[in-house]
Amino acid sequence: MKRVKIGIAGLGRLGRTHAQNLAFKIPQAELTAACSIVDAELDYAKNELGITELYKDFSEMVNKADIDAVVIVTPSTEHPWQIEAALKAGKQVFCEKPLAVTIEECKATEKIVEQYPDQIVMLGFMRRFDPSYAYAKEKIKAGAIGQPYLVKATGIDPEADCQSLIDSGFIPKSGGIFIDMAVHDIDLMRWFLEADAKEVYALGCSFKHPEFKRDGDCETGCAMFEFENGAMGQIHVGRTAPHGYHIETEIVGTEGSIRISPVPAKNLAILYDTNGVVQECVRNFPERFSESYVLELEEFINCVIHKTKPSVTVYDGTKATQMAFAAKAAFENHVVTPVEH
Amino acid sequence: MKRVKIGIAGLGRLGRTHAQNLAFKIPQAELTAACSIVDAELDYAKNELGITELYKDFSEMVNKADIDAVVIVTPSTEHPWQIEAALKAGKQVFCEKPLAVTIEECKATEKIVEQYPDQIVMLGFMRRFDPSYAYAKEKIKAGAIGQPYLVKATGIDPEADCQSLIDSGFIPKSGGIFIDMAVHDIDLMRWFLEADAKEVYALGCSFKHPEFKRDGDCETGCAMFEFENGAMGQIHVGRTAPHGYHIETEIVGTEGSIRISPVPAKNLAILYDTNGVVQECVRNFPERFSESYVLELEEFINCVIHKTKPSVTVYDGTKATQMAFAAKAAFENHVVTPVEH
Amino acid sequence: MKRVKIGIAGLGRLGRTHAQNLAFKIPQAELTAACSIVDAELDYAKNELGITELYKDFSEMVNKADIDAVVIVTPSTEHPWQIEAALKAGKQVFCEKPLAVTIEECKATEKIVEQYPDQIVMLGFMRRFDPSYAYAKEKIKAGAIGQPYLVKATGIDPEADCQSLIDSGFIPKSGGIFIDMAVHDIDLMRWFLEADAKEVYALGCSFKHPEFKRDGDCETGCAMFEFENGAMGQIHVGRTAPHGYHIETEIVGTEGSIRISPVPAKNLAILYDTNGVVQECVRNFPERFSESYVLELEEFINCVIHKTKPSVTVYDGTKATQMAFAAKAAFENHVVTPVEH
Amino acid sequence: MKRVKIGIAGLGRLGRTHAQNLAFKIPQAELTAACSIVDAELDYAKNELGITELYKDFSEMVNKADIDAVVIVTPSTEHPWQIEAALKAGKQVFCEKPLAVTIEECKATEKIVEQYPDQIVMLGFMRRFDPSYAYAKEKIKAGAIGQPYLVKATGIDPEADCQSLIDSGFIPKSGGIFIDMAVHDIDLMRWFLEADAKEVYALGCSFKHPEFKRDGDCETGCAMFEFENGAMGQIHVGRTAPHGYHIETEIVGTEGSIRISPVPAKNLAILYDTNGVVQECVRNFPERFSESYVLELEEFINCVIHKTKPSVTVYDGTKATQMAFAAKAAFENHVVTPVEH
Residue A23 touches partner C, C-beta closer than 8 Å: yes
8 Å CB contact between B183 and B98 = yes
CA distance D262 to chain B (A): 8
Q: Phi/psi at A58 (nearest 5 deg)?
A: -60, -45
The beta-carbon neighbor of B207 closest among C149, C224, C226 is C149
The set of chains that have 3 or more CB pairs under 8 A with D is A, B, C
* CB nearest C234 (choices: B236, B242, B252): B236
B167: buried, middle or exposed (CB in 10 Å: 19+, 13-18, 0-12)? exposed
Q: Does B230 touch chain A (CB under 8 A)?
A: no
Residues D147-181 pLDDT 10s: 999 999 999 999 999 999 999 999 998 899 999 99
* pLDDT tens by residue, B228-267: 999 999 999 999 999 999 999 999 999 999 999 999 999 9
From chain D, pick out residues whose CB is under 8 angstroms from the CB of C241.
272
Instruction: State residue B2's pLDDT score.
Output: 74
Amino acid A1: pLDDT? 53
Q: Distance (Å) from the C-alpha of residue D2 to the closest C-alpha of chain B?
A: 11
Residues of chain B contacting residue D258, judged by C-beta atoms under 8 Å apart: 269-272
Tell me how close the Cα of C74 comes to any Cα of chain A, in angstroms.
25
Contact present, B198 and B228 (Cβ < 8 Å):
yes
| Coil, strand or helix at B306 | helix
Predicted local confidence at residue B341, as pLDDT: 85
Q: Does C265 touch chain D (CB under 8 A)?
A: yes
Contacts of A276 in chain B (CB under 8 A): 243-244, 266, 278-281
| Option in C272, C274, C281 nearest D277 (CB) | C281
Whether the CA torsion A209, A213, A217, A219 is positive or negative: it is positive
Mutate to test the interface with B, among D268, D280, D281 (most CBs of B within 10 A): D268
CA distances from C289 to A56, C285, D292 (A): 42, 6, 46
Determine whether the interchain pair B277/A278 forms a contact, defined as Cβ–Cβ distance below 8 Å: yes
C-alpha A333/C-alpha A322 separation (Å) is: 16
Contact D268 B258 (CB under 8 A): no
pLDDT for res D1: 53
Nearest chain A residue to C135, by CA: A269
Tell me the per-residue pLDDT of C95-144, one tens digit each, with 9 for 90 and over. 999 999 999 999 999 999 999 999 999 999 999 999 999 999 999 999 99
User: Distance between CA B289 and CA B302 in Å, rounded?
Assistant: 20
C152 touches chain B (CB under 8 A): yes
To the nearest whole Å, the CA of C265 is away from the closest chain B CA by 15
How many residues in chain A? Answer: 341
Contact at CB, A273 and C261, closer than 8 angstroms: no
Cα dihedral sign for A311, A313, A317, A322? negative
pLDDT given for residue A341 in this prediction: 85
Q: Do A256 and D243 touch (CB under 8 A)?
A: yes
For the segment C210-227, what is each residue's pLDDT rounded down to a tens digit? Answer: 999 999 999 999 999 999
C37 touches chain A (CB under 8 A): no
Q: Which residue of B has its CA nearest to A261?
A: B277
A-interface mutation test, from B275, B282, B283, most A Cβ less than 10 A away: B275
Q: What pLDDT was estimated at residue C280?
A: 98
- Measured between CA atoms, how close is C73 to chain B, in angstroms? 34
Instruction: Say which amino acid occupies D4.
Output: V
Q: Does A280 touch chain B (CB under 8 A)?
A: yes
Give Cα A45 to chain centroid, integer Å.
24
Quick one: B117 exposed, middle or buried, by C-beta within 10 A (0-12, 13-18, 19+)? exposed
Strand ranges for chain D from DSSP E: 4-9, 29-35, 53-55, 69-72, 92-96, 121-124, 148-158, 197-205, 220-227, 232-241, 246-253, 257-260, 269-273, 276-279, 337-338
- A338 prior amide bond cis, ω within 30: no
In chain C, what residues touch D275 (CB-CB under 8 Å)?
A: 243, 275, 278, 280
DSSP helix/strand/coil, B52: coil
**Which of C151, C156, C207, C251 is the best mutation test for B, with the most CBs of B within 10 A?**
C207
The angle at the Cα of B76, spanning B73 to B78, to the nearest 5 degrees, equals 85
Are D256 and B274 inside 8 Å of each other by CB?
yes
Using the Cβ of B47 and the Cβ atoms of chain A, whether some distance falls under 8 Å is answered with no
Per-residue pLDDT of chain B (341 residues; tens, 9 = 90+): 579 999 999 999 999 999 999 998 998 999 999 999 999 999 999 999 999 999 999 999 999 999 999 999 999 999 999 999 999 999 999 999 999 999 999 999 999 999 999 999 999 999 999 999 999 999 999 999 999 999 999 999 999 999 999 999 999 988 999 999 999 999 999 999 999 999 999 999 999 999 999 999 999 999 999 999 999 999 999 999 999 999 999 999 999 999 999 999 999 999 999 999 999 999 999 999 999 999 999 999 999 999 999 999 999 999 999 999 999 999 999 999 999 98
Interchain CB distance below 8 Å, A271 and C256: yes
- B143 close contact with C: CB closer than 8 A: no
Beta bridge partners of A269: C260
Question: What is the per-residue pLDDT for B1?
Answer: 53
Instruction: Give the whole-angstrom CA distance, residue B196 versus residue C234.
Output: 22
With left for phi above 0 and alpha for psi between -120 and 50, is residue D234 left, alpha or beta?
beta
User: Looking at residue A270, what is its pLDDT?
Assistant: 98
Sequence-distant (6+) residues with CB within 8 A of D296 are: D94, D122, D124, D125, D126, D128, D129, D312
Express each pLDDT in C259-278 by its tens digit: 999 999 999 999 999 999 99
* CA-based nearest distance B181→chain C, Å: 18
B283 contacts on A by Cβ (under 8 Å)? none
Asked if the Cβ–Cβ distance from B203 to C226 is below 8 Å, we say yes
Q: How many CA atoms lie within 13 A of C91 on its CB side?
A: 29
- D window 318-337, beta carbon within 8 A of A: 334-336
SS3 labels along chain C: CCCEEEEEECCCHHHHHHHHHHHHHCCCEEEEEEECCCHHHHHHHHHHHCCCEEECCHHHHHHHCCCCEEEECCCHHHHHHHHHHHHHCCCEEEEECCCCCCHHHHHHHHHHHHCCCCCCEEEECHHHHCHHHHHHHHHHHCCCCCCEEEEEEEEEEEHHHHHHHHHCCHHHHCCCHHHHCHHHHHHHHHHHHCCCEEEEEEEEECCCCCHHHHCCCCCEEEEEEEECCCCEEEEEEEEEECCCCEEEEEEEECCCEEEECCCCECCCEEEEECCEEEECECCCHHHHHHHHHHHHHHHHHHHHHHCCCCCCCHHHHHHHHHHHHHHHHHHHHCCCEECCC
> Tens-digit pLDDT profile for chain A (341 aa)?
579 999 999 999 999 999 999 998 998 999 999 999 999 999 999 999 999 999 999 999 999 999 999 999 999 999 999 999 999 999 999 999 999 999 999 999 999 999 999 999 999 999 999 999 999 999 999 999 999 999 999 999 999 999 999 999 999 988 999 999 999 999 999 999 999 999 999 999 999 999 999 999 999 999 999 999 999 999 999 999 999 999 999 999 999 999 999 999 999 999 999 999 999 999 999 999 999 999 999 999 999 999 999 999 999 999 999 999 999 999 999 999 999 98
The whole-angstrom distance between residue A186's C-alpha and the CA centroid of its chain comes to: 10
Radius of gyration of chain A measured on its C-alpha atoms: 20
Q: pTM of the predicted model, to two decimals? A: 0.96
CB contact under 8 A, D222 and A252: no
Distance CA A143, CA A134 (A): 14
Our separate counts of H helices and E strands in chain B read 13, 15
Indicate which of A271, A272, A280 best probes the interface with B, i.e. most B CBs within 10 Å of its own CB.
A272
- Rounded CA-CA distance A182/B308 in Å is 64
Write out the H or E segment, with its range, that includes residue B5.
strand B4-9
A35/A59 Cα distance (integer angstroms): 10
Cβ burial, residue C39 (10 Å; 0-12/13-18/19+): exposed
Contact A259 C273 (CB under 8 A): no
Note the pLDDT tens digit of each residue in D313-326.
999 999 999 999 99
Q: Residue B250, exposed/middle/buried by CB under 10 A (0-12, 13-18, 19+)?
A: buried
In terms of Cβ atoms closer than 10 Å to its own Cβ (0-12, 13-18, 19+), residue D289 is buried
The minimum CA-CA distance between A31 and chain B, rounded to whole Å, is: 38
> Inter-chain contact D132–B269, Cβ cutoff 8 Å?
yes
* CA distances to A153, A241, B242, D258 from B271, in Å: 19, 12, 18, 5
Query: Angle CA(A225)–CA(A230)–CA(A236) in degrees, nearest 5?
Result: 25
B278 contact C CB<8A:
no
pLDDT tens digits for D210-244? 999 999 999 999 999 999 999 999 999 999 999 99
Cβ distance D260 to B269 less than 8 Å, yes or no, reads yes
Residue C221, CB-side half-sphere exposure with 13 Å CA sphere: 32
Looking at B10-97, list the stretches that DSSP marks H as alpha helix, in order from N- to C-terminal side.
Answer: 13-20, 39-47, 58-64, 79-88
Scan residues 289-308 of A and list those with Cβ closer than 8 Å to B: none
Q: What is the CA radius of gyration of chain D?
A: 20
CB-CB under 8 Å, C234 with B255:
no
Domains of chain B: 4-119 (3.40.50.720), 128-287+320-338 (3.30.360.10)
Contact B273 A246 (CB under 8 A): no
Q: How far is B189 from chain C (nearest CA, A)?
A: 15
Instruction: Choose the closest CB to B242 out of A246, A266, A273.
Output: A273
| Residue D210 C-alpha from the chain's centroid | 27
Q: Provide the β-strand partners of residue A220.
A: A205, A238
Chain C residues closer than 8 Å to D243 by CB: 272-277
C178/C321 Cα distance (integer angstroms)? 9
For residue A100, the surrounding DSSP H or E stretch is: none
What backbone torsions phi and psi does residue D310 show, to the nearest 5 degrees?
A: -70, 160
Residues in chain C: 341
For residue C251, is pLDDT > 60?
Answer: yes
CB atoms near residue D84 (< 10 Å) = 18
| Distance (Å) from the alpha carbon of C161 to chain D's nearest alpha carbon | 13
Q: Which chains touch A (3 or more CB pairs under 8 A)?
A: B, C, D
pLDDT, mean over chain C = 96
Decide if pLDDT at C21 tops 90.
Answer: yes
Count CB neighbours of D160 within 10 A.
16
Alpha helices in chain A (DSSP H): 13-20, 39-49, 58-64, 79-88, 103-114, 131-141, 162-167, 170-173, 177-180, 182-193, 211-214, 285-306, 314-333
Tens-place pLDDT, residues B113-154: 999 999 999 999 999 999 999 999 999 999 999 999 999 999
With vertex at residue A281, the alpha carbon angle to CA A280 and CA A285, rounded to the nearest 5 degrees, is 155
The beta-carbon neighbor of D268 closest among B50, B132, B274 is B132
Cβ density class D24-36: b for 16+ within 10 Å, e for less: bbbbebbbbbbbb
Nearest residue of A to residue D154 by CA position? A152
Percentage of chain C with pLDDT > 90? 97
Q: Which of A25, A184, A8 is nearest to A93 (CA)?
A: A8
pLDDT (mean) for D19-40: 95
